[in-house]
Structure 1
Amino acid sequence: MVLHLISLYLISNSWLLLLFLSFSSLLVFLRFSSHNRSHKWRLPPGPSPLPIIGNLHELDRIIHVSLHRLSKEYGPLIHLNLGNTSAIVASSVEVSSEILKAQDTVFCSRPPLAAITKFTYDGIDIGASPFGEYWKKMKRFGNVHFFNALKVRSFHNIREEEVDVLINDIKKASFNGELINVSERAVCLLQNITFREVFSKRVSVDGDCRLSPYHDLIKDMMSMMASFNARDFFPSLWWLDFLTGWRVKLERRFREMDRIYEKEIETRLKSTCATTHNDFLDLLLNRQTKVDPSLGFLLSRNEVKALLMDMFFGGTDTSSVTIEWGMAELMRNPEVMKKAQDEVRQLIGNKEKVEESDIRHLHYLKLVIMETLRLHPPTTLLAPRECMKDTKVNGYDIPAKTIALINVWAIGRDSKYWDDPYSFQPERFKNKSINYKGNHFNFIPFGSGRRICPGITFGMANIELALANILYSFDWTLPNGMTKEDIDMREHFGLVTRKKMPLVLIATPKFTNMCIW
């Protein structure tokens, strides 16, 4: 993948390739070599780097699989030179717990990656800001006002209403003989939920998110945050991103999203209506004029928009891909599908739908979701951390500024921690104390430590309610004579790892006399 990206980035411009090879070989490689000569590091094992590109050539299109392959050869902690950037990759419970728990404060910062830094207004949000007093205050502010259980419950009506829209939309499509693109429906559901929680409005009034310019914009921005650029791998050659047009595209996408935020903010500020929306935008704007005790300062306009960015990036794709992967695994494992549907249908009976108050009784569904997260964590590599000082991990030297990656995909499929790890067996979690809250390092789909995903409760509430109603309301079959073995389970690596090919199914309503309201 990386070589392909580099070829698109450089080889398509022969003059740029010549400039890159001549200038960077002198500036970057000599600088890197000089740095190594002046320090006698005992670095973790890893493949020998090539001049200039380091180990970038070792990474295939599916990066977490490439890193898993390298860990099989070099061990659970490996060192890579990604261009001019030093990185370590942890692929075991023992090493990941040392980084995320024992040395959490050492590895608690974030590297200033170009696209993420730009989209978060120079890293002033919760997710991308470097470790320090500012981040601590922003995290505390988020925990107090956004991510606590009480706040999650306060939005239950939005989730239930949007799931109703989803189910009704699928019914209409099924009555018209249409196939159901589960991937698109899941993304649309989560975008509408998030938009209503933030702006008290839907992405698309008619329910088709594809008609909204916001839909493609978010997809493009997510893609850019996982794309190759010179600044992240060759900091001295940051100017190449301007020559190739990558930086121009980045700035254009940022301005498009910024205009959306500005329009919503200005509309809200100019509104003469006395109605309080009680959404996230109201909460943030109020903190521009009234100091919040958890912060100790007034939020700036850019800080408001950076926090909005966190909600949209964290609130849609991570949940939608889990719904998609969960349905794919259920279609490949019909006996598990039957158990999950039997449970929800026996509990709900002839009621119209599954309500959020019913979810706590759906024990097997929760096991299905946990098994989905084990095999298909939304972020197969946890968001990169940055080592803040020279330290040692697993007996090896780790210099300051080294990027640390945790391969949770590899850990979730390791036979050392899981029996028959590649099979889909929800029962493996039955009567176990394991949870997804970062305390069990063989199962950390949302991370662990101070930088654990703060929106877990929101995400799980969305996933559970959506899957429960999808399973309750419809019987699902494969189209065009397909068998379960024909389901394409290939991955597309990105900021979140989704199915390469969308999951398209036939939905048959449970009740043939269902009304479309």
Structure 2
Amino acid sequence: MAWLNSPAVQLGFSLIFLWIIYRFVTKKNSQSNKGDMRLPPGPRPWPLVGNLHLLGSLPHKSLAELANKYGPIMFLRLGSVPTVVASSPAMAKEFLKTHDLIFANRPPSAMGKYLAYESRDVGQAPYGEYWRQMRKLCKNELLTAKRTESFRWVREEEVRAMVRSLWEESEKGVRCVDLRKPISSLTLNIICRMFGGKSYSDHELGGRKWFLQMVAEIMHLSGVIVLGDFIPSLAFLDWRGYCRRMQAVNKVFDEFFDKLIDEHVERRRSKKSDDPDIVDVLLDMAESETAEIQVSRIHIKAIIMDMLSAGVEASATTIEWAMTEILINPQVMARAQQEIELEVGTDRIVTESDLVNLDYLRCVVKETFRLHPPAPLLVPHESMQGCNVGGYYVPPKPRLLVNVWAIGRDESVWEDPLEFKPERFIGSIIDVKGHHFELLSFGTGRRQCPGIAMGVSIVHFVVAQLIHCFHWSVEGDLDRDEVFGLNLPRKFPIFALPSWRFTTNEPP
């Protein structure tokens, strides 16, 4: 009977056992559907994998195609995990407003375990007292309007440095500039100065290009399909090595965060900083005996990880998509440049105080968020109890995916949805702050991204500066190919030719 100990035989028995469970569950659900608890429609699942095979390399697009067949609310089985997908503003409102509390939880995941310090960050923490305290910390201490405004000089200084760098490149006669490099480097410098108090040299980062690739790796791995998340019994397989990659990238940033915190602790021993950054604020709370929220080193690391990944990669990706659409649609560039010239002139660069008067620029950014949302499926939610939504019963514990990418292309909501037309937002009250379910770029409700004000301000400011200081052109056609992750970066960088537009011969 030694053959029973064979790994292949044991795997076979495991698969048979899972098949029996699958048949029992699907039969039970089928019987439930005959009563009042009717599940939303959806494709018939396969044994073991459920509907995982239908997601493809770009799940947001695959789910949008399925929604065209099954409707704006669907029920899928991703492995053994029941999943509900909302693909219309009305359904998004039902889940994220009417039933916001029920769907305020986060499902456990390899990403939360390996990249978010056992889900100790704000984005992945399960709903409960811990999450409420961390959310309160971010909203009331770290990402307030006052604190965001206090870092305005940092943003303006770094953007000015980026403009000069691009001007120097153009003066050297460089044919084309890879826009991804200066944009990513800019957002990295801004975020690092906000939480770390300084821009880090290439040496301190172990190489700037490599470090930015590691930040991009976080966002990519945060959106991949980890087999163990959906078929726990097969977690040991670590399909495509995603868990190993998560552990490797976490080790890189954990060492960086330790050095960052140690530098702050040593600096505070010698002399308290006159210009405290976000790590200083967190250390103040960690050292306070009266602080309402107790903060430890691991909490500081988790918060910095959130800021680094979302603040650097998500902002840079959105700016790159905005420039993509502006280059594909030169009439948009011309109109935006004209608006900025009327407000600012051509003898100085844009400041953040100018942005309030640039209505068309805000329309350009909204249209970018509509077509290229930073998180196409948002971060997955999980229900805490059963409820009725859209005439269907949603049982406890399924995951919720809100396909904001599909909502942004819904022809029943938007005229010419595939066209980049900023004019559609002129005179419109629709914004990206979560009040309008046609445009949920940052989510809404309890689990909305707390860094929305900072992210939007960076995107507006950088796009304004790039098109005001330079006229951009590309040779040949520019594609819109994507790479799926938690966000949707361009598959290939933009290579464009900048031409200086100011009356002065160099940046003022």
**Could you state the TM-score of these two structures normalised by the residue count of structure 1?**
0.91
Deviations 1:394-448, CA, capped at 9 Å, x for gaps: 1222121100000111111111111111111111111111111111111111111
1:224 to 209, 221, 224: 221
Q: Aligned partner of 1:196: which letter?
A: R
Q: Aligned partner of 2:505: which letter?
A: M
2:283 to 282, 285, 302: 285
Q: CA deviation at 1:19?
A: 7.2
1:508 to 469, 487, 499: 499
Q: CA separation of 1:205/1:257 partners in 2, compared to 1, >3 Å: closer, same or farther? A: closer
Are 1:383 and 2:379 counterparts?
A: yes
Q: CA deviation at 1:501?
A: 1.8
1:235 to 217, 232, 236: 232
Quote the Cα distance in structure 1 between the aligned partners of 2:206 and 2:496. 19
Secondary structure in 1 matching 2:400: strand
Residue 313 of structure 2 corresponds to which residue in structure 1? 317
1:190 to 184, 187, 190: 187
Quote the Cα distance in structure 2 between the aligned partners of 1:415 and 1:163. 37
Secondary structure in 2 matching 1:380: coil
Bigger mean CA offset, 44-53 vs 19-28: 19-28
Residue 456 of structure 1 corresponds to which residue in structure 2? 452
Work out whether residues 361 and 464 of structure 2, in 8 Å CA contact, stay in contact via their aligned partners in 1. yes
Work out whether residues 86 and 401 of structure 2, in 8 Å CA contact, stay in contact via their aligned partners in 1. yes
Q: CA separation of 1:308/1:211 partners in 2, compared to 1, >3 Å: closer, same or farther? A: closer
Deviations 1:20-74, CA, capped at 9 Å, x for gaps: 9625422433223333344525221111111111111111211111001000001
1:69-84 equivalences under 5 Å are 69-84=65-80
Residue 198 of structure 2 corresponds to which residue in structure 1? 201
Secondary structure in 2 matching 1:409: helix
Residue 348 of structure 2 corresponds to which residue in structure 1? 352
Residue 8 of structure 1 corresponds to which residue in structure 2? none
1:340 to 325, 332, 336: 336
Work out whether residues 104 and 450 of structure 1, in 8 Å CA contact, stay in contact via their aligned partners in 2. yes
Residue 301 of structure 1 corresponds to which residue in structure 2? 297
Deviations 1:318-372, CA, capped at 9 Å, x for gaps: 2111111111111111111100001112211133211111111111101110111
Quote the Cα distance in structure 1 between the aligned partners of 2:263 and 2:466. 36
% identical equivalent positions: 35
Q: CA separation of 1:91/1:442 partners in 2, compared to 1, >3 Å: closer, same or farther? A: same
Q: Aligned partner of 2:481: which letter?
A: R
Quote the Cα distance in structure 1 between the aligned partners of 2:97 and 2:141. 26
Quote the Cα distance in structure 2 between the aligned partners of 1:130 and 1:73. 33
Are 1:437 and 2:433 counterparts?
A: yes
Q: CA separation of 1:20/1:107 partners in 2, compared to 1, >3 Å: closer, same or farther? A: farther
Bigger mean CA offset, 19-28 vs 412-421: 19-28
Residue 251 of structure 1 corresponds to which residue in structure 2? 247
Work out whether residues 75 and 85 of structure 2, in 8 Å CA contact, stay in contact via their aligned partners in 1. yes
Residue 359 of structure 2 corresponds to which residue in structure 1? 363
Q: Aligned partner of 1:147: which letter?
A: L
Deviations 1:157-213, CA, capped at 9 Å, x for gaps: 000011011111111111122211122222111111000101012133699996354
Quote the Cα distance in structure 1 between the aligned partners of 2:39 and 2:200. 49
Quote the Cα distance in structure 2 between the aligned partners of 1:501 and 1:472. 24
Deviations 1:282-338, CA, capped at 9 Å, x for gaps: 011111111565xx2321211111111111122112211111111111111111110
Q: CA deviation at 1:223?
A: 2.1
Secondary structure in 2 matching 1:498: coil
Residue 483 of structure 2 corresponds to which residue in structure 1? 492
Quote the Cα distance in structure 2 between the aligned partners of 1:349 and 1:99. 46
Residue 9 of structure 1 corresponds to which residue in structure 2? none
Work out whether residues 76 and 90 of structure 1, in 8 Å CA contact, stay in contact via their aligned partners in 2. yes
Q: Aligned partner of 2:260: which letter?
A: E
Q: Aligned partner of 1:463: which letter?
A: V
Q: CA separation of 1:36/1:409 partners in 2, compared to 1, >3 Å: closer, same or farther? A: same
1:31 to 21, 28, 36: 21
Are 1:116 and 2:112 counterparts?
A: yes
Q: Aligned partner of 1:395: which letter?
A: G
Q: Aligned partner of 2:189: which letter?
A: N
Length, aligned pairs only: 494
Q: CA deviation at 1:218?
A: 1.5
Residue 468 of structure 2 corresponds to which residue in structure 1? 472
Bigger mean CA offset, 312-321 vs 37-46: 37-46
1:51 to 47, 53, 57: 47
Q: CA deviation at 1:220?
A: 2.1
Quote the Cα distance in structure 2 between the aligned partners of 1:278 and 1:492. 37
Quote the Cα distance in structure 2 between the aligned partners of 1:353 and 1:246. 44
Work out whether residues 182 and 505 of structure 1, in 8 Å CA contact, stay in contact via their aligned partners in 2. yes
Q: CA deviation at 1:246?
A: 4.0
**Could you state the TM-score of these two structures normalised by the residue count of structure 2?**
0.92
Give the superposed CA RMSD. Answer: 2.2
Work out whether residues 172 and 516 of structure 1, in 8 Å CA contact, stay in contact via their aligned partners in 2. no
Structure 2 unaligned blocks of 5 or more: 1-5
Q: CA deviation at 1:121?
A: 1.0
Residue 3 of structure 1 corresponds to which residue in structure 2? none
Work out whether residues 384 and 397 of structure 2, in 8 Å CA contact, stay in contact via their aligned partners in 1. yes
Quote the Cα distance in structure 2 between the aligned partners of 1:316 and 1:365. 21
Residue 12 of structure 2 corresponds to which residue in structure 1? 22
1:153-168 equivalences under 5 Å are 153-168=149-164
Quote the Cα distance in structure 2 between the aligned partners of 1:464 and 1:202. 22
Q: CA separation of 1:494/1:244 partners in 2, compared to 1, >3 Å: closer, same or farther? A: closer
Secondary structure in 1 matching 2:450: coil
Work out whether residues 184 and 313 of structure 2, in 8 Å CA contact, stay in contact via their aligned partners in 1. yes
Work out whether residues 227 and 234 of structure 2, in 8 Å CA contact, stay in contact via their aligned partners in 1. yes
Q: Aligned partner of 2:413: which letter?
A: Y
Q: CA separation of 1:297/1:148 partners in 2, compared to 1, >3 Å: closer, same or farther? A: closer
Q: Aligned partner of 1:219: which letter?
A: A
Residue 6 of structure 1 corresponds to which residue in structure 2? none
Residue 3 of structure 2 corresponds to which residue in structure 1? none
Quote the Cα distance in structure 1 between the aligned partners of 2:97 and 2:365. 25
2:58 to 55, 62, 66: 62
Work out whether residues 220 and 484 of structure 2, in 8 Å CA contact, stay in contact via their aligned partners in 1. no
Work out whether residues 100 and 445 of structure 2, in 8 Å CA contact, stay in contact via their aligned partners in 1. yes
Q: Aligned partner of 1:357: which letter?
A: S
Residue 5 of structure 1 corresponds to which residue in structure 2? none
Secondary structure in 1 matching 2:287: coil
Work out whether residues 475 and 507 of structure 1, in 8 Å CA contact, stay in contact via their aligned partners in 2. yes
Work out whether residues 163 and 507 of structure 2, in 8 Å CA contact, stay in contact via their aligned partners in 1. no
Are 1:180 and 2:170 counterparts?
A: no
